A and B are shown apart, each in its own frame.
Chain A
Amino acid sequence: GEDVEQSLFLSVREGDSSVINCTYTDSSSTYLYWYKQEPGAGLQLLTYIFSNMDMKQDQRLTVLLNKKDKHLSLRIADTQTGDSAIYFCAESTGGGNKLTFGTGTQLKVEL
């Protein structure tokens, strides 16, 4: 089956780095994604990584992919209060833009 697991909650202090982890099971996924959801809103695509890459950096965001362990992480440098949200990882499955979403990690940034 296709299960994407994340830890439920992460709390960091403003200015620190945040690392959100995700494990997935479908080794045939072509792309993996990170989405951000603020309260009462839809999901915002933050970044994605092609499955043959190990790392992708985009400003404060760094994505690491370990295909052997089926582990994906999102590092947010210099975390700000505006980064407080729920973060979902997702993998492409079966083509046709169909995605399987993780359980979501709530990030809380404290002053």
Chain B
Amino acid sequence: GAVVSQHPSRVICKSGTSVKIECRSLDFQATTMFWYRQFPKQSLMLMATSNEGSKATYEQGVEKDKFLINHASLTLSTLTVTSAHPEDSSFYICSVGGRFETQYFGPGTRLLVL
């Protein structure tokens, strides 16, 4: 399967600032990446599908101006949480689309907004 990294693994920021999270596919060229949000003891909530070289497709209810996604290369997608607020605190996980319609996940980024 694909090896996926995320950076940073953990970030604390002040309310009103923006935070960028990187998702890298280390050994696989990924035309499609996915961004999820996970609340404690809950399942994953798909936020958006990131397509290399084109605009991301956002799920219903996800603000595209707040969660900016850029997929500029086959190995890197970024999620920027703009003007972060405490309610944006969560665990953000990215994944890469693989064979047999699978997804391979990164280790996640814990965001805490004070």
Identify the A interface with B (CB < 8 A): 30-31, 33, 35, 40-45, 48, 50, 88, 92, 95-99, 101-104, 106
Contact = CB atoms under 8 A, between A and B. Distances in A.
A44 to B, nearest CB: 7
Contacts, number: 58
A45 B107 contact: no
Top-9 shortest CB links A-B = A97-B97, A42-B105, A92-B101, A43-B105, A42-B107, A42-B108, A101-B44, A101-B43, A103-B43
Nearest to A44: B105
A45 B42 CA distance: 18
Given A42-B4, A101-B44, 5 more contacts: A42-B105, A45-B1, A50-B100, A95-B101, A103-B43
A81 to B, nearest CB: 20
* Chain B residues touching A, range: 20 to 34
A97 B107 contact: no
Interface of B: 1, 4, 6, 32, 34, 41-44, 46, 49, 93, 95, 97-98, 100-108, 110
- The prevalent SS among residues of B at the interface is strand
A96 B108 contact: no
Contacts of B43: 88, 101-104
Contacts of A41: 107-108
A97 B98 CA distance: 7
Nearest to B46: A98
A90 to B, nearest CB: 8
Given A42-B93, A42-B108, A97 B32 contact: yes
Contact of A98 (B49, B93, B98): B49
Nearest to A106: B41
B105 to A, nearest CB: 4
Contacts of B105: 35, 42-45
